[in-house]
Chains A and B, each alone.
Chain A
Amino acid sequence: MTMNNQGRPSSAGTVAPDDTATISGDRGLDHEEPLIFELGRDGMTGVDLPNAQLADTRLGGMRRKQPIGLPGLSEPEVIRHYVRLSRMNYAIDAGLYPLGSCTMKHNPRLNEKMARLPGFGDLHPLAPQSTVQGALALISELMKWLTALTGMPAVAMSPKAGSHGELCGLLSIRAAIAARGEKRTRILVPQSAHGTNPATAASAGFTIDEVSGTPDGRVDMIELEGKLAPDVAAIMLTNPNTCGLFERDIRHMADATHKAGAYFYCDGANFNAIAGRVRPGDLGVDAMHINLHKTFSTPHGGGGPGAGPVVLSAALAPFAPLPLLLHDANGFRLIEDRDDLPAGAKPFGRLCAFHGQMGMFVRALAYMLSHGRDGVRQASEDAVLSANYILASLKDVMSAPYGEGPCMHEALFDDSFLEGSGVSTLDFAKAMIDEGYHPMTMYFPLVVHGAMLIEPTESESKESLDRFIHVMRALTLEAVAKNTTRFAGAPRFAPRRRLDETAAARKPVLRWKRREAAE
């Protein structure tokens, strides 16, 4: 072991792997952490509040009769608990997160700061409208960006996530069809669609009819046209699609759909591949949700909150849900009720209380203003370039079903290169964890066997991509050589080894219970 001039080791030397159990159960920086309910003590609190006397309650006799059962902890204990939990998480800030179709791009911190300005973060949704003109102006400006980038005339801002946006779009379509005095009950959905598409169509009261794909990973145009009968309300299509490919015939599909009297719903989950370059309005789209947490980088936060504004064509715009935002000589005004509608508006209803995910709106607008139209276009180009770089660098060792390329912002592989190796897609993904990477999306889209969908986004440097490619190639060669040890036992270096999901589902334990109260 060599030392530097301060006597500290400058090289770690080599030691044999050490599986000795520690006394504490912790291992260096890896701390085991109990549940919050297993910590603390009665009577403790991390918030100092006066003990108000309630001589004269007026609770209608409904006062709580027994304790709730919450533990008591001081602030330092709570902070340590959640800091320790955080260290068991992978995050985009810590490493490449190539989760296809989820778009794990960098989350600029300016956006967090802006959302926390008191003038946005500390505003009540029902405060007098004269006192929130700046907030309404911000929403209006975001609407302008969304309509300009998509080439669509209108946008509904209240949907709280992508699937909520799908519901918004389909309910607009339903209302438009009803206004025409027609009854159309069927929605065409490609086999490659996100699961939310058929689930939302069912929620909106439609039946689902699947359309097959072609060998080159696109929607089968002939089958689609064959199915466009008078009972079809809409087609729901993702473009670029979930195989990471642009639907070349999209304009033709839109025309055929409109000719059949149906509407074209586009799942905008992959808008980040084309933003600043292609406007969905020019492609004939009637409705498309925009995942602000994907394309416009509002943080994913461990699975939410999202935001899913829906852009609408002129045909669907009148049916947008309440509230509506108007601007006139007196400033901005929210229309929250049917009695107060501008001419031509026929909203299908209300999707949620209040006006949408304001905190996400601020972040998304900060992203847009920072990027500008040129930066938005550059982001799309870099995302597509990086995905193609990965495809080109891995397709000779891994198997890419549509490897002739180009792909859009994500590169799709299947598991045929693993055939006979004894390594599954899941094993391969878990071995990536040991290498310090979050795995790509697995087993989706369903149209490809053992799918592995890699989305690097525009946030990675070339050095980062090269290192990832190097690791993926080496892992692939190991798997193909049937050196299965590192795969079968993976992950070995994560906070947990593989978890028993079957046991979790068979006898669900969904909450902590006090030991004496447990069975």
Chain B
Amino acid sequence: MRYHPLTPEDRLAMIERIGVTSVDALFKDVPLAAVVPLSAFDLPDGQGEMEVERKLSRMAQTNIAAGAAPFFCGAGAYKHHVPAAVDHLIQRSEFLTSYTPYQPEIAQGTLQYMFEFQTQVALLTGMEVANASLYDGSTATAEAVLMAQRITKRPKAVLSGGLHPHYGETVETVAALSGEVLRAPTMPGRAEDIAAMIDDQTACVVVQSPDVFGLIRDLKPIAAAAHAKGALLIAVVTEVISLGLLEAPGFQDADVVVAEGQAIGNGLSFGGPYVGLFATREKFLRQMPGRLTGETVDASGKRGYVLTLSTREQHIRREKATSNICTNSGLCCLAFTIHLSLLGEEGLTRLARLNHAKASALADRLAQIKGVELVTPAFFNEFTLRLSQPAASVVEALARKGILAGVPASRLLPHDPTVRNLLIVAATECTTDEDCDAFATALAEVLA
């Protein structure tokens, strides 16, 4: 086996040093009845690199990759161009094959990029502090709700109808254990009256902007309504490139900002691994979940970085920890940091403008087709169309024509008959004029 350096002679010599007669003797504490022969496993034996590559490549080829077709899917995961330098750098052995930086003297590379990541996230979201990432946007949202329940000592979380339904379900799974989760009605293209749902038992209001239908929300009045009742506002961003053009939630009085960071530096990868951003006000620092990197000095006075405030975390606090989370999303957070460093202020601003321009042009074009109505009046790079037919079957028909036309709202909200004809469409810098032509032509044909 090419990955195993021990030779049969080595093994014999080692067994001798240990003073046993065979490797089997080392497993003597395992009840004999529990040891099974290899033949008990209905699995193949090992294969060479070439054979494995051939098998997996064939599986991969049966899928339609986003880059291989006119592509318009979003709804929480976005196709962006990731510069070649990003993937090259994150594959450096020193980043790829290191562990959590528990020995800071030999992990300054990881610790410093995590510190840079925390700073970038704080700047983007307009918040004071950010952690070194969580698993993804949805789990970060659930952690934010739990944090709000801890801070306010109140049970109730009020979720906007524009929150990505998967996020809402993720929140319900964990936050309903100790509290109550209320979801506002779904009103595609409009802002619901969420203020009316806030009372003195409300821990937090969770609002996504741009929302799952692409609508940009004004968070300030919601923040004011929440704060008036002593509740916190949790702002959710699933397309983080939008922060290059839109007012940061931190400047709209959000108390916690969580986001899916995939759009910067990370590929689609069929849903994971992604990177959850989590930022908040300094006063909530000690209630935050997840890892934090802090600046300090070493014994010779040099600046350096360490994991800090770990008394919040499970390995110290055990059942009293702020969260059970152990890992962060290390390598994805590195990809985010490198891509954002490459973009810089100028690059991110241009990228965000380009996304908006592409989406804007596409929305206008598609809205001219008979049987298509634009539902979202204000959007960033994603909008919702009302079609004259159920969107799911239109998407299937377009897939047969080689076009990945977007996400039917019914995929996310199968119970809701009012969204059956809605199609959520995203355009990014990757979208070409030819893609838009192909989409518009094919959509007109299918709806005709």
Mask: chain B, 334-362; 1 = CB below 8 Å from A; 0 = not: 10011011111111101101101110100
Nearest-Cβ distance from residue A443 to partner chain B, whole angstroms: 10
| Alpha-carbon distance between A31 and B403 when the two chains are bound, in angstroms | 49
Given the interface contacts A124-B77, A276-B38, A304-B328, does A491 sit within 8 Å of B106 by beta carbon? yes
| Alpha-carbon distance between A24 and B302 when the two chains are bound, in angstroms | 14
| Alpha-carbon distance between A78 and B116 when the two chains are bound, in angstroms | 13
Query: A356 at interface (Cβ–Cβ under 8 A)?
Result: yes
| Alpha-carbon distance between A122 and B357 when the two chains are bound, in angstroms | 24
Given the interface contacts A110-B53, A195-B314, does A353 sit within 8 Å of B353 by beta carbon? no
| Alpha-carbon distance between A108 and B93 when the two chains are bound, in angstroms | 11
| Alpha-carbon distance between A198 and B99 when the two chains are bound, in angstroms | 23
The reply to whether A126 and B411 contact each other, CB–CB distance below 8 Å, is: yes
The reply to whether A82 and B89 contact each other, CB–CB distance below 8 Å, is: yes
Given the interface contacts A303-B327, A496-B298, does A508 sit within 8 Å of B308 by beta carbon? yes
Quick one: which of A52-103 are within 8 Å of B by CB? 52-54, 56-73, 75, 78-79, 81-83, 85-94, 97, 99, 102
Q: Which among B134-142, B153-161, B227-235 touches the partner chain?
A: B134-142
Q: Which chain B residue shows the least CB distance to A458? A: B4
The reply to whether A91 and B308 contact each other, CB–CB distance below 8 Å, is: no
| Alpha-carbon distance between A195 and B233 when the two chains are bound, in angstroms | 31
| Alpha-carbon distance between A79 and B97 when the two chains are bound, in angstroms | 19
Nearest-Cβ distance from residue B235 to partner chain A, whole angstroms: 12
Mask: chain A, 301-323; 1 = CB below 8 Å from B; 0 = not: 11111110000000000000110
Q: Which residues of B contact A88 (CB under 8 A)?
A: 94, 106-109, 112
Q: Which chain B residue shows the least CB distance to A436? A: B106
Query: B218 at interface (Cβ–Cβ under 8 A)?
Result: yes
| Alpha-carbon distance between A115 and B90 when the two chains are bound, in angstroms | 14
The reply to whether A497 and B108 contact each other, CB–CB distance below 8 Å, is: no
The reply to whether B27 and A384 contact each other, CB–CB distance below 8 Å, is: yes
The reply to whether B296 and A370 contact each other, CB–CB distance below 8 Å, is: no
The reply to whether B56 and A340 contact each other, CB–CB distance below 8 Å, is: no
Q: Which chain A residue shows the least CB distance to B89? A: A82
Contact of B177 among A85, A166, A205 (CB under 8 A): A205
The reply to whether B327 and A195 contact each other, CB–CB distance below 8 Å, is: no
Query: A375 at interface (Cβ–Cβ under 8 A)?
Result: yes
Quick one: which of A437-487 are within 8 Å of B by CB? 438-439, 444, 458-462, 464
Nearest-Cβ distance from residue B238 to partner chain A, whole angstroms: 9
Given the interface contacts A60-B218, A369-B55, does A116 sit within 8 Å of B341 by beta carbon? no
Query: A180 at interface (Cβ–Cβ under 8 A)?
Result: no
- How many pairs of residues, A versus B, come closer than 8 Å at their CB atoms? 706
Q: Which chain A residue shows the least CB distance to B146? A: A203
Contact of B346 among A43, A131, A132 (CB under 8 A): A43
The reply to whether A438 and B245 contact each other, CB–CB distance below 8 Å, is: no
The reply to whether B109 and A87 contact each other, CB–CB distance below 8 Å, is: yes
Q: Which among B59-67, B196-204, B365-373, B439-447 touches the partner chain?
A: B59-67
Nearest-Cβ distance from residue A54 to partner chain B, whole angstroms: 6
The reply to whether A73 and B344 contact each other, CB–CB distance below 8 Å, is: yes
Query: A114 at interface (Cβ–Cβ under 8 A)?
Result: yes
Query: A182 at interface (Cβ–Cβ under 8 A)?
Result: no
The reply to whether A45 and B294 contact each other, CB–CB distance below 8 Å, is: no
| Alpha-carbon distance between A88 and B28 when the two chains are bound, in angstroms | 42
Query: B185 at interface (Cβ–Cβ under 8 A)?
Result: no
Quick one: which of A109-152 are within 8 Å of B by CB? 110, 112-128, 130-135, 137-138, 144-145, 148-149, 151
Given the interface contacts A61-B218, A355-B270, does A119 sit within 8 Å of B342 by beta carbon? no
The reply to whether A277 and B67 contact each other, CB–CB distance below 8 Å, is: no
Query: A417 at interface (Cβ–Cβ under 8 A)?
Result: no
Q: Which residues of B contact A429 (CB under 8 A)?
A: 103
Nearest-Cβ distance from residue B147 to partner chain A, whole angstroms: 12
The reply to whether B218 and A62 contact each other, CB–CB distance below 8 Å, is: yes
Query: A201 at interface (Cβ–Cβ under 8 A)?
Result: yes
The reply to whether A89 and B110 contact each other, CB–CB distance below 8 Å, is: yes
Number of interface residues of B (CB under 8 A): 212
Q: Which chain B residue shows the least CB distance to A92? A: B97
The reply to whether B327 and A68 contact each other, CB–CB distance below 8 Å, is: no
Q: Which chain A residue shows the least CB distance to B326? A: A163
| Alpha-carbon distance between A385 and B8 when the two chains are bound, in angstroms | 12
Q: Which residues of B contact A386 (CB under 8 A)?
A: 6, 14
The reply to whether A498 and B319 contact each other, CB–CB distance below 8 Å, is: no
Mask: chain A, 478-519; 1 = CB below 8 Å from B; 0 = not: 000000000001010011111111011100111110000000
| Alpha-carbon distance between A104 and B93 when the two chains are bound, in angstroms | 13
Quick one: which of A19-58 are within 8 Å of B by CB? 32-33, 35-37, 40, 42-47, 49-54, 56-58
Quick one: which of A352-411 are within 8 Å of B by CB? 352-360, 362, 365-366, 368-375, 377-379, 381-382, 384-386, 388-389, 391-393, 405-406, 408
Q: Which 8 A-B pairs have the closest CB atoms?
A: A119-B60, A354-B271, A60-B378, A301-B331, A372-B46, A125-B271, A305-B273, A134-B62
Other A-B contacts than A46-B85, A127-B73, A202-B320, 13 sampled, CB-CB below 8 A, are A59-B246, A60-B216, A89-B108, A91-B97, A135-B63, A199-B318, A276-B41, A300-B97, A321-B173, A359-B270, A495-B108, A499-B104, A499-B296
A–B Cβ pairs within 8 angstroms, 30 of them: A35-B119, A46-B341, A46-B342, A51-B350, A51-B353, A52-B358, A62-B209, A75-B83, A92-B97, A93-B94, A110-B53, A123-B268, A134-B61, A160-B273, A161-B326, A195-B314, A199-B319, A199-B324, A274-B30, A276-B41, A301-B96, A302-B95, A302-B330, A366-B52, A371-B3, A371-B46, A392-B18, A429-B103, A499-B105, A510-B115
